[in-house]
Amino acid sequence: MIQGAPFRVGLVQMVSTPSVPENISSAAKLVAEAAGLGAKLVVLPEYFCILGMRDTDKVAAREENGAGPIQDFLAEAAKRHGVWLVGGSVPLACPDPGKVRNSCLVYDAEGRRVARYDKIHLFGLELGAERFDEAKTIAPGDRPCAVESPFGRIALSVCYDVRFPELYRALAPMDIILVPSAFTATTGRAHWETLLRARAIENLAWVLAPAQGGTHANGRQTHGHSMVVDPWGKVVAERATGAGVVVADIDPAFQQKMRRGLPALTHRVL
């Protein structure tokens, strides 16, 4: 577990468009804002670089692993601002030409990529007029991922993954859980905060969940409510809707105190 002084995190909330250059420009300004507010760990939402008119738009915008304007932006922005920067999800090429990996990429303060997590659980929904089937355009990952950082052990996940607590149990113990997301307005209203707080409570971990939040060009409405949840399950920072930045101070000593007082992670038998 991390030892030391508190540090500041920044969550970027966006209302991404079908234009990759436009989204990169917006993300650049918001990352700069978060860094200017003192954040040392900055996290972008799922689909920060493209939320297209059609599901296949992200396939057309895919990049080869390690090369492309989206990945170049993340590396350069991390180095320019001296922050750890997490690209909530980037469409990376996979063996199936009709699909992509929905990949969460982590860059250190020198602009080096230090982790990649491919979203494992793919969203599917048939509820009234709403229909989603990510499996049509996304190839699932097959490996959980956590990264050691100056801020402690960070578990990576993306959006729909938050409904599967066994993913996080496979990585426990961790200090921070990342959940970059693009929750629908419907499922977000019903479940978003409850799921995030549950993951924080059961892992006694900080949860950082930057989100898409607004009405997109394709008519999709995303829930927003980017939030930071502490290890006791309290929401300590939140932004309801619209593009912007959420910052919060993380105190490692608070987490240590909670884990000493309620050592639930040491009581696991399965």
Beta bridge partners, 102, equal: 91
Q: Give CA–CA dist 205/182, Å, rounded.
A: 22
The catalytically annotated residue of 40, 46, 104, 134 is 46
Return the exposure string of 178-208: e unless at least 16 CB atoms fall within 10 Å of the residue's CB, then b.
bbbbbbbbebbeeebbebbbbbbbebbbbbb
In order of start, what are the domains of the chain with their CATH numbers? 8-262 (3.60.110.10)
The catalytically annotated residue of 58, 104, 119, 134 is 119
Residue 217 pLDDT:
96
Residue 107 pLDDT:
98
Catalytic annotation on 159? yes
pTM value is 0.97
Catalytic annotation on 119? yes
pLDDT in tens, the chain (270 residues): 445 789 999 999 999 999 999 999 999 999 999 999 999 999 999 999 999 999 999 999 999 999 999 999 999 999 999 999 999 999 999 999 999 999 999 999 999 999 999 999 999 999 988 899 999 999 999 999 999 999 999 999 999 999 999 999 999 999 999 999 999 999 999 999 999 999 999 999 999 999 999 999 999 999 999 999 999 999 999 999 999 999 999 999 999 999 999 999 999 988
Residue 250 pLDDT:
97
Q: Which two tokens stand for residue 196?
A: 């995030």
Q: What is Dmax (Cα atoms) for the chain? A: 51
